[in-house]
């Protein structure tokens, strides 16, 4: 896992007694040991966790400050031969000013001290009574009785190879421009926030949104660690809120108000973060404009073993697992598709649309989008010319579904059998009709496209494309056949999501009789139906038997295009996600096919029609994906 840029980090909230440093230190050690047991390489503790946050005027007591420093020495000694970076909160006296700091410890040494930049002094907070803001502290050095020349400043970055850690403290995150924004521009990719944030109604929801948003804005992993319930409750209550986010995603969070030592851990994917930064031009431009310079403090982990890989990897990254979110996603995509088509219809001033209906998923979705568009534009559905074109492999099930759907939706319906035209074309090009090869199949696909295009010209209509994102990724379309249209409404909808979109319309947008037809379409095997039917009249050509399961290909597509992962890393993640569904050899077989087809079929994507981007992955040559059609795939299969 370490070779694929994974690392496990931990957020810890220890038991505390206010001003009881020995007690606090012992519980900090317990949490460190637990984090080590779980193979974490970083553990972050709350703000002023060595003393407790709520000491108030006791922070001016010399005894408290001295014992805190002694405890830090003890903790440094305790950290020897422990392969974990530790960030703990404690006060520091520097030039007769008191600073609220994060002490960063590794293997017996204080690597650096980071002061809190912004000191809150409003509403329930009164920190300026004791502490000085550290915003101006840059590249200073501190001498403690047990270690001299310790780096001290807000611009410290602790570096171990690709892993670059930095820290800010509580209120810093609430600033208009948090220190973490500058730290990430200076290279930090994992941010720890040592905090003491009290609880009031709805604050936790706001706080976690803030953490998640900052991780997205900075394209980093952001860990927030707050003081627990044993802080003083004189006026405030703390909950021990712990959460770990990555680029806008909440990876792990605890149940607040725990009354015991607590450690949560999560595996962070640094490759995902670094790739996101690499492709984001605005981030790169911000880096150029950042005038601050980091103080890089290098150290070296003994190993980067993450332990058991327990990071959640969704089998269907394009499809939200939460039902409410999935419905919202489908509604949003359906609206994007209809709005896009409405613009094209309005712009061309064409009042008709022409679409081929096979009884399969993709053409069904394209028809539903077209119907909704015409309803929005107040154009009669009779202006939608739906054509079913049965051929050698058309089954009764798909034919009947196509006919029933078009008639129930109230479109103009036409049936044009392509068998005779294809037989004539076989004769024209001297092809034996009994040889069921790629020519046999493509003749049918191109004949159907020719019919659709010619009728669109004849009727003054727009030929609507039906192909989806997954088919474009695999090149599973006939060049200048179903590959071509005048506008492709499904071009960035992956196959795994098409099913849910059709189901959404069946449940929410249409009458029960139309919904029943859509459900049967959903239950029909995916097939181009270009080979003759079987003896029992059933589909003889099932797409997933030929190119592999679409759920695998959509998974491969997401991680290859969205995150630019290597073959090795995609295989590792797929093995984890599909461990209950496919063996590793099956996954590798289809991954290799995906890579080969993705590279060799780029020439088709270089010439696709216009169509709307609906999600984070698009293969439009005018937008998200620009790739030479003759690029070699060899490097990706080694």
3 state DSSP class of 191 = strand
Pairing type for strands 221-226 and 190-195 reads parallel
Whether the predicted pLDDT of 331 surpasses 90: yes
* 47 annotated active-site: yes
Whether the predicted pLDDT of 538 surpasses 80: no
Whether the predicted pLDDT of 338 surpasses 80: yes
C-alpha span between 167 and 407 (Å, rounded): 64
Average pLDDT over residues 566-592: 96
List the one residue out of 215, 216, 209 whose CA is nearest residue 192.
215
Which pLDDT does position 124 carry in this prediction?
82
C-alpha span between 506 and 58 (Å, rounded): 66
pLDDT band at 537, cuts 50/70/90?
Answer: low
Residue 442 in marked binding region: yes
Residue 357 in marked binding region: yes
Which pLDDT does position 545 carry in this prediction?
80
Whether the predicted pLDDT of 224 surpasses 70: yes
**pLDDT per residue over 45-56, tens digit each?**
999 999 999 999
Residue 356 in marked binding region: yes
DSSP string, 225-268: EE--TTS--SS--B---EEEEETTEEEEEPPSS--S-EEEEEEE
pLDDT band at 212, cuts 50/70/90?
Answer: very high
Residue 215 in marked binding region: no
Whether the predicted pLDDT of 530 surpasses 70: no
Residue 471 in marked binding region: yes
List the one residue out of 29, 73, 72 whose CA is nearest residue 51.
72
Angle at 130 between CA 127 and CA 136, to 5 degrees: 80
Residue 527 in marked binding region: no
Q: Which of 13, 31, 34, 47 is catalytic?
A: 47
Provide the phi-psi class of 39: left if phi over 0, else alpha when psi is between -120 and 50, else beta: left
The whole-chain average pLDDT of the chain stands at 94
Check residues 497 and 524 and name the one with the higher pLDDT. 497
Q: Which of 116, 352, 372, 569 is catalytic?
A: 116
pLDDT band at 541, cuts 50/70/90?
Answer: low
Average pLDDT over residues 366-375: 97
C-alpha span between 245 and 213 (Å, rounded): 9
Which pLDDT does position 540 carry in this prediction?
59
* 164 annotated active-site: no
Whether the predicted pLDDT of 93 surpasses 90: yes
Q: Which of 170, 218, 220, 491 is catalytic?
A: 170
Longest C-alpha distance within the chain, in Å? 100
**pLDDT per residue over 1-30, tens digit each?**
667 899 999 999 999 999 999 999 999 999
Which pLDDT does position 140 carry in this prediction?
95
DSSP bridge partners of 140 = 152
Which pLDDT does position 3 carry in this prediction?
72
Q: Is residue 466 packed enough to be buried (19+ CB in 10 Å), middle (13-18) or exposed (0-12)?
A: buried
Which pLDDT does position 353 carry in this prediction?
98
Which pLDDT does position 125 carry in this prediction?
86
pLDDT band at 580, cuts 50/70/90?
Answer: very high
**pLDDT per residue over 294-326, tens digit each?**
999 999 999 999 999 999 999 999 999 999 999
Task: Please give the distance of CA 410 from its chain centroid, rounded to a whole number.
Answer: 40
pLDDT band at 524, cuts 50/70/90?
Answer: confident
pLDDT band at 638, cuts 50/70/90?
Answer: confident
CA 362 vs CA 400, 444, 611: distances in Å: 16, 18, 14
**Gap between the terminal Cα atoms of the chain:** 18
3 state DSSP class of 296 = strand
List the one residue out of 520, 476, 515, 521 whose CA is nearest residue 494.
476
Residue 476 in marked binding region: yes
C-alpha span between 431 and 433 (Å, rounded): 6
Query: Residue 147 has which token pair?
Result: 């270690």
Which pLDDT does position 528 carry in this prediction?
66
List the one residue out of 41, 60, 48, 160 whose CA is nearest residue 103.
48
C-alpha span between 633 and 600 (Å, rounded): 8
Q: What beta strand segments (E) does 315-426 contain?
A: 352-356, 384-388, 412-415
**pLDDT per residue over 97-131, tens digit each?**
999 999 999 999 999 999 999 999 888 888 999 99
Residue 362 in marked binding region: yes
Whether the predicted pLDDT of 426 surpasses 70: yes
Domains (range + CATH), the chain: 2-298 (3.60.110.10), 323-637 (3.40.50.620)
Residue 479 in marked binding region: yes
Which pLDDT does position 535 carry in this prediction?
66
C-alpha span between 177 and 118 (Å, rounded): 11
The residue assigned the tokens 């521009």 is 185
Residue 515 in marked binding region: no
C-alpha span between 498 and 475 (Å, rounded): 17
**pLDDT per residue over 170-198, tens digit each?**
999 999 999 999 999 999 999 999 999 88
Residue 420 in marked binding region: no
* 116 annotated active-site: yes
Which pLDDT does position 532 carry in this prediction?
75
Average pLDDT over residues 79-84: 96
Whether the predicted pLDDT of 544 surpasses 90: no
Q: What is the value of pTM for the model shown?
A: 0.90
**pLDDT per residue over 581-597, tens digit each?**
999 999 999 999 999 99
The residue assigned the tokens 């410890």 is 105
Pairing type for strands 221-226 and 242-246 reads antiparallel
């Amino acid at each position: 896992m370490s070779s694929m840029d994974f690392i496990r980090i931990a957020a810890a909230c220890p038991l505390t007694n206010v001003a009881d440093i020995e007690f606090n230190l012992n519980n900090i050690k317990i949490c460190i040991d637990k984090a080590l047991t779980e193979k974490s390489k970083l553990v972050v503790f709350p703000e002023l966790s060595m003393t407790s946050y709520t000491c108030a005027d006791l922070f001016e007591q010399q005894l408290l400050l001295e014992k805190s420093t002694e405890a830090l020495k003890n903790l440094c000694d305790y950290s020897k031969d422990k392969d974990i970076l530790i960030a703990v909160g404690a006060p520091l006296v520097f030039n007769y000013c008191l600073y609220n700091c994060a002490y960063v410890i590794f293997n017996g040494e204080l690597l650096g001290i980071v002061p809190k930049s912004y000191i809150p002094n409003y509403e329930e907070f009164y920190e300026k009574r004791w502490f000085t803001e550290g915003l101006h502290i840059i590249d200073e050095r501190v001498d403690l009785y047990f270690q001299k020349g310790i780096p001290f400043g807000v611009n410290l970055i602790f570096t171990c190879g690709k892993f670059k850690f930095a820290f800010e403290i509580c209120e810093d995150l609430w600033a208009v421009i948090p220190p973490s924004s500058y730290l990430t521009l200076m290279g930090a990719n994992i941010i720890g926030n040592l905090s003491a944030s009290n609880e009031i109604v709805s604050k936790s929801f706001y706080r976690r949104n803030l953490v998640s948003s900052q991780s997205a804005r900075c394209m980093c992993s952001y860990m927030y660690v707050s003081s627990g319930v044993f802080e003083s409750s004189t006026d405030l209550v703390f909950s021990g809120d712990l959460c770990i986010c990555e680029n806008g995603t909440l990876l792990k969070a605890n149940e607040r108000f725990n009354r015991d030592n607590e450690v949560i851990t999560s595996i962070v994917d640094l490759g995902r973060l670094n790739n996101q930064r690499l492709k984001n031009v605005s981030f790169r431009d911000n880096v150029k404009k950042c005038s601050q310079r980091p103080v890089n403090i290098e150290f070296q982990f003994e190993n980067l073993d993450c332990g058991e890989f327990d990071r959640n990897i969704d089998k269907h990254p394009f499809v939200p697992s939460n039902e409410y979110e999935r419905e919202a996603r489908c509604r949003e995509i359906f609206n994007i598709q209809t709005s896009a088509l409405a613009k094209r219809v309005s712009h061309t001033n064409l009042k008709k649309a022409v679409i081929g209906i096979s009884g399969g998923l993709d053409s069904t979705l394209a028809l539903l989008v077209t119907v909704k568009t015409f309803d929005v534009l107040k154009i009669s559905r009779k202006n939608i010319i739906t054509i079913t074109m049965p051929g050698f492999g058309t089954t009764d099930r798909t034919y009947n579904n196509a006919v029933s759907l078009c008639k129930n939706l109230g479109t103009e319906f036409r049936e044009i059998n392509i068998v005779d035209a294809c037989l004539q074309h076989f004769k024209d090009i001297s092809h034996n009709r009994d040889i069921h090869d790629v020519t046999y199949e493509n003749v049918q696909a191109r004949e159907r496209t020719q019919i659709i295009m010619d009728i669109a010209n004849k009727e003054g209509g727009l030929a609507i494309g039906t192909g989806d994102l997954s088919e474009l990724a695999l090149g599973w379309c006939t060049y200048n056949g179903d590959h071509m249209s005048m506008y492709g409404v499904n071009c960035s909808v992956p196959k795994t999501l098409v099913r849910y979109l059709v189901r959404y319309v069946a449940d929410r947008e249409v009458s029960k009789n139309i919904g029943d037809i859509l459900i049967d379409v959903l239950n029909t095997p995916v097939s181009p139906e270009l080979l003759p039917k079987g003896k029992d009249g059933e589909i003889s050509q099932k797409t997933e038997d030929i190119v592999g399961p679409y759920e695998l290909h959509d998974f491969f597509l997401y991680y290859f295009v969205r995150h630019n992962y290597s073959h090795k890393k995609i295989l590792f993640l797929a093995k984890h996600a599909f461990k209950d569904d496919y063996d590793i050899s099956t996954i590798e077989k289809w991954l290799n096919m995906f890579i080969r087809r993705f590279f060799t079929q780029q020439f088709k994507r270089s010439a696709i029609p216009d169509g709307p981007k609906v999600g984070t992955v698009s293969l439009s040559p005018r937008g998200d994906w620009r790739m030479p059609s003759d690029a070699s795939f060899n490097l990706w299969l080694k």
